[in-house]
């Protein structure tokens, strides 16, 4: 097992390198640059700026400098747009925010989604099933860019209970709406996945055997059914977890949380190369890490899998 983990971690280094080089080249291939603006800079001014950021060097030299900076001093470079801050500053200020609301949303989506899914599967075709399925379909078809403004109109404008946006150092009142907006559609997917996989498991022979033995229903579910039923859910959770903790543009735009989701999209639009690279690498590294975590969880849950 340990050997497997080391092997996976070792492979992740070339994977990340390929990711860096590919994104670097693709980004530079996009038309325009960080200093293309409505009022084009005079060539001498542009030359000074490009020299300052090393953009006057050939692309290959830029890639080497960039990777060198990361390896030797964990320096992801300066932001071309927010000139008072480095990429490290931007990630350091935005990522904790994204992580907070993303992690909370994940917990909510997972707990509520699983509970709804299991309940629906156990009471198949009852009012509870219809209710759970209804909620999950409703949540699925209501995208968060519709949900977010509706929440603001209800809770901020009509009821006046919650602030319409901002982060306020992670005050609970500022977190509620982002978490609801981000978690609902994931919750719906988890509920549906759990329900169908639970239904499948409940019809297998080993569950029938357990029922024939006369085990109480709650023991069957807890001890025998839940683990196998969660397997497909877990493979879904890995990438979902990364997607949630690396932020949502919608949440950042509608609730002005200051997370990195918005920074990521903006960096692409403004060709803020360094910021875009920094966040790409962060997301890449997290994706690799959590895919590994999922694989380990698999081995732990499913005795059939051995590494």
Partner 1 sequence: MLNKNIFLSTVVGAALLSAPSFAAKMHPETGEKLADDQTFTYRLLDEHSSVDPQIVEDVSGSEVVRNLFEGLYNQDNYGNLVPGVALSHEVSADKQTYTFKLRQDAKWSDGKPVTAGDFVFAWQRASDPKTASPYAWYVELMSLENAKAIIDGEKTPSELGVKAIDDHTLEVKLSVPLPYFPLMTTHSTTFPSPKWAIDAHGADWTKPGNIVSNGAYVLSEHKPQEQAVLVRNENYWDNANTIIDKVVTLVINDENVALTRYKAGELDRTEVPAGQYPSLKEQYPDQAIAFPRLCNYYYTFNLSDSGPEFFKDVRVRKALAYSLDRNVITERVLQGGQFPAYTFTPAVTAGFEVPGVEYAGLSQKERDAKAMELMAEAGYSKDNPLKFNLVYNTSEGHKKIAIAMTQMWKQKLGVEVTMNNMEWKTFLNERGNQNFELARGAWCGDYNEASTFLDLLTTASGYNDGKYSNAEVDQLMADAKTADNAQPNYTRVEEIVAGEMPVIPIYHYTNVYMMDANLKNWPVENAEQNWYAKNLYKVAD
Judged by beta carbon, residue 121 or residue 260, the one nearer partner 1 is 260
Q: Does 140 bind partner 1 (CB under 8 A)?
A: no
- Binder among 7, 13, 17, 36 for partner 1 (CB under 8 A): 36
- Binder among 94, 178, 238, 278 for partner 1 (CB under 8 A): 94
Retrieve residue 119's tokens: 């309940």
Tell me the DSSP string of 175-212: HHHHHHHHHHHHHHHHHHHHHHHHHHHHTSHHHHHHHH
Judged by beta carbon, residue 40 or residue 216, the one nearer partner 1 is 40
Q: What residues numbered 187-246 form the site for partner 1, per CB under 8 A?
A: none
Size of the residue set binding partner 1 (CB under 8 A): 53
CB 151, CB 176: distance < 8 Å? no
Region of 67-75, 79-87, 113-121, 181-189 interacting with partner 1 (CB under 8 A): 79-87
Q: Does 291 bind partner 1 (CB under 8 A)?
A: no
Please name which of 27, 134, 13 lies closest in space to residue 70, comparing C-alpha atoms. Answer: 13
Put residue 90 in one of left, alpha, beta given phi > 0 → left and psi -120 to 50 → alpha: alpha
Please name which of 256, 139, 123, 143 lies closest in space to residue 190, comparing C-alpha atoms. Answer: 139
Considering the complex, what minimum distance in angstroms separates the CB of residue 20 from partner 1?
22
Q: Does 177 bind partner 1 (CB under 8 A)?
A: no
- Binder among 157, 205, 303, 306 for partner 1 (CB under 8 A): 157
- Binder among 257, 267, 280, 287 for partner 1 (CB under 8 A): 257
Cα-only R_g, the chain: 24
Q: Does 52 bind partner 1 (CB under 8 A)?
A: yes
Please name which of 263, 285, 246, 284 lies closest in space to residue 101, comparing C-alpha atoms. Answer: 246
Judged by beta carbon, residue 127 or residue 158, the one nearer partner 1 is 158
CA distance 106 to 186: 8
The SS3 call for residue 254 is helix
CB 237, CB 251: distance < 8 Å? no
Considering the complex, what minimum distance in angstroms separates the CB of residue 264 from partner 1?
11
CB 102, CB 179: distance < 8 Å? no
Q: Does 33 bind partner 1 (CB under 8 A)?
A: yes
Q: Does 32 bind partner 1 (CB under 8 A)?
A: yes
Retrieve residue 84's tokens: 């008072």
Name the site residues for partner 1 (rule: CB under 8 A): 30-33, 35-42, 44-45, 48-49, 51-53, 78, 81-85, 89-90, 93-94, 149, 152-153, 156-157, 160, 163-167, 252-254, 256-259, 262-263, 266, 269-271
């Amino acid at each position: 097992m340990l050997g497997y983990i080391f092997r996976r971690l070792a492979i992740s280094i070339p994977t990340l390198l390929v990711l860096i080089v590919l994104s670097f080249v693709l980004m530079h291939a996009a038309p325009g640059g960080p200093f293309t603006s409505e009022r084009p800079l005079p060539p001498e001014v542009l030359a000074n700026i490009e020299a300052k950021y090393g953009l006057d060097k050939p692309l290959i030299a830029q890639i080497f400098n960039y990777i060198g900076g990361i390896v030797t001093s964990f320096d992801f470079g300066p932001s071309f747009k927010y000139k008072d801050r480095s990429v490290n500053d931007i990630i350091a200020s935005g990522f904790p925010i994204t992580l907070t609301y993303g992690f909370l949303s994940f917990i909510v989506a997972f707990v509520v989604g699983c509970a709804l899914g299991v309940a629906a599967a156990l009471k198949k075709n009852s009012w509870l099933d219809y209710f759970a399925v209804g909620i999950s379909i409703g949540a699925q078809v209501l995208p968060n860019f519709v949900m977010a403004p509706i929440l603001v109109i209800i809770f901020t404008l009509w009821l006046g209970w919650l602030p319409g946006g901002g982060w306020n150092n992670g005050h609970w009142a500022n977190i509620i709406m982002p978490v609801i907006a981000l978690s609902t559609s994931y919750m719906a997917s988890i509920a549906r996945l759990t329900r169908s996989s639970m239904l499948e498991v409940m019809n297998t022979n080993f569950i029938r055997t357990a029922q024939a033995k006369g085990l109480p229903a709650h023991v069957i579910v807890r001890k025998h059914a839940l683990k196998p039923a969660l397997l497909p859910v877990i493979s879904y959770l890995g990438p979902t977890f990364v997607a949630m903790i690396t932020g949502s543009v919608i949440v950042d735009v509608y609730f002005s949380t200051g997370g990195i989701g918005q920074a990521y999209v903006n960096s692409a639009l403004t060709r803020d190369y360094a910021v875009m690279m920094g966040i790409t690498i962060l997301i890449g590294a997290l994706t690799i890490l959590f895919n590994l975590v999922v694989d380990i969880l698999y081995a732990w849950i499913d005795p059939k899998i051995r590494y």
